[in-house]
Amino acid sequence: MNGMLFEKLPLVNEISSPGRRGVLPPSADQSERRAARAKLPANLRRKAAPALPEVSELDAMRHFTRLSQKNYSIDAQFYPLGSCTMKYNPRINEKVAAMAGFARLHPMQESADIQGSLRIFHDLQEILKQVLGLGGVTLCPAAGAQGEFAGMAIIRAYHRDNNTGRDEVIIPDSAHGTNPASAAFAGFKVREVKSGADGCVDLDALRAAINDKTAAIMLTNPNTCGLFEKDIKEIARMIHAAGGLLYYDGANLNAIVGRARPGDMGFDVVHMNLHKTFSTPHGGGGPGAGPVGVAERLINYLPAPHVRKAGSKYEFYSPDRSIGKLLAFHANAGVIVRALSYAMSQGGTGLWDVATYATLNANYVLNNLPAVFERPFGNLCKHEALVTVRRISKEKDIKAFDIAKRLLDLGYHAPTIYFPLLVPECLLIEPTETESKETLDGFIAAMKQIATEIESTPDVLRNAPNELPTGRMDEAAAAKALNVCCQWGDVPMA
């Protein structure tokens, strides 16, 4: 399965042969070209032909096709990257988003001319309101982190309008790094609370952190340990009783979509990542979307432009107390189209299945890994399986990092490692709902092989990857000596 990935390819210059060509159409008018060239100053004119590779059309096609197949991708391989929800995104959604009526719209077109697209915005807002259990949804934010910023700006505006003087945000130590960054960027002070031994928020630590400056708590649920916060209702009660608001980092909605709703848990503001749960391919840094849902009392603060239905027409408007614009235009529109196509093709029961199988698959992995992969928080998880190798890292000096590198040799993308920060030497494995039992069994078999190698051939792990075209990089040098690393072929090796 991975031959293509590991095969060392020649450079296109190495397969070059003088005089070999593809099909070249004759140029339209030789005399015109000569006249144009004559106008170039003599010192800028080429003395010799450029040293381009000379290959046949077929060789060029095969070379670049092989290169493209060296990409590790969801289309070809399993991608268990924790906290990222790297699931298969149905092709139908790509086709719909690429239809000329959507792809060729201009963002400055008049509302009257784009009623169909406004309806798509409106309908997706309505669906997400149901999914989140909240009164209003904006589709403006272009990513999860921007959704967090928008949500925190809304909370800030709310406290300002109500003269509460509250400027502190409580964030558990298991949170995604974007949470404290977004809160600080929106002007808040950040107060961290420690997790308990069970990986959930410690209620005593939370009680001690709440005071009359508490503006909000930012909570991820299921949290980054892959656990559902069991005291969620009590946490909501405590924060609300103290005059704060509840912010829900719903980037991991894949675990609960269609089954549990943040609004029902008491949350006031929620962001979700359409590029994780609602079918936009990501991982290459492409466009995403981080819609934000809010409770009724915050709808007036939503960013502009917002889409609403007025009679039989759809229109943009700016809510009275809007926090303003987040982007030059409306949203990453193609992502919105994909999400609506996905939601409608799944339907309510389909979304319920997403959460069911995402959770089942993660638990299957968690409970079938060999014992060296210890489970810090018991045998049950939600959409991702967190394990740690802290014992063998002490006893045998084998790190989570070594295991991640060895998985590359065995044909698997490494899971997320060293996150969440509160579990040392951890691996966070998110299989998602779209993978089959056979694929999960293959991954588990690779982890079993690694467990054997820890005993028999530990150096194979310490030196991994051994079988890729590139060996282990000196990661410190790669970060510190950029000018060296940028020279092709000059990447320092350990």
Ligand X SMILES: *Cc1c(COP(=O)(O)O)cnc(C)c1O
Residues that bind ligand X (CB under 6 A): 83, 143-145, 176, 178, 220, 224, 249, 251-252, 273, 288, 290
Q: What is d(CA 183, CA 171) in angstroms, rounded to the nearest whole number?
A: 9
Closest CA to 433 of 378, 351, 373, 377: 351
Q: Nearest distance from residue 389's CB to ligand X, in Å?
A: 22
Least Å distance between CB 385 and ligand X? 15
138 or 220: CB nearest ligand X: 220
To ligand X, the closest distance from the beta carbon of 255 in angstroms equals 11
Distance CA 95, CA 98 (A): 5
What is the CA 374 to chain-centroid distance, rounded? 26
HSE-CB for 137 with a 13 A CA cutoff: 26
Which lies closer to ligand X via its Cβ, residue 273 or residue 322? 273
Residue closest to ligand X when measured from CB atoms: 144
* CB distance 340 to 118 below 8 Å: no
Q: Cβ closer to ligand X: 122 or 176?
A: 176
Question: What is the nearest approach in angstroms of ligand X to the Cβ of residue 277?
Answer: 10
Q: How far is the CB of 183 from ligand X (least distance, A)?
A: 12
How many Cα atoms sit within 13 Å of 364 on the Cβ side? 20
Nearer to ligand X, 220 or 388 (CB): 220
Query: How far is 398 from 8, CA to CA, in rounded Å?
Result: 28
Please, what is the minimum distance in Å from the beta carbon of residue 141 to ligand X? 9
Residue 425 and residue 388 in contact, taking contact as beta carbons nearer than 8 Å: yes
Smallest distance from ligand X to CB 445, Å? 28
Output the smallest distance, CB 382 to ligand X, in A. 12
Instruction: Kindly report the number of other CB atoms within 10 A of residue 357's CB atom.
Output: 18
Nearer to ligand X, 192 or 455 (CB): 192
Closest to 250 in 3D by CA, of 281, 279, 218, 282: 218
Give the separation between CA 119 and CA 313, rounded to whole angstroms.
Answer: 9
- Looking at the Cβ atoms of 172 and 263, the one nearer to ligand X is 172
Nearer to ligand X, 252 or 359 (CB): 252
Residue 59 CB-density burial (10 A; 0-12 exposed, 13-18 middle, 19+ buried): middle
Smaller CB distance to ligand X: residue 81 or 446?
A: 81
Quickly tell me which residue has 């399986």 as its tokens.
Answer: 385
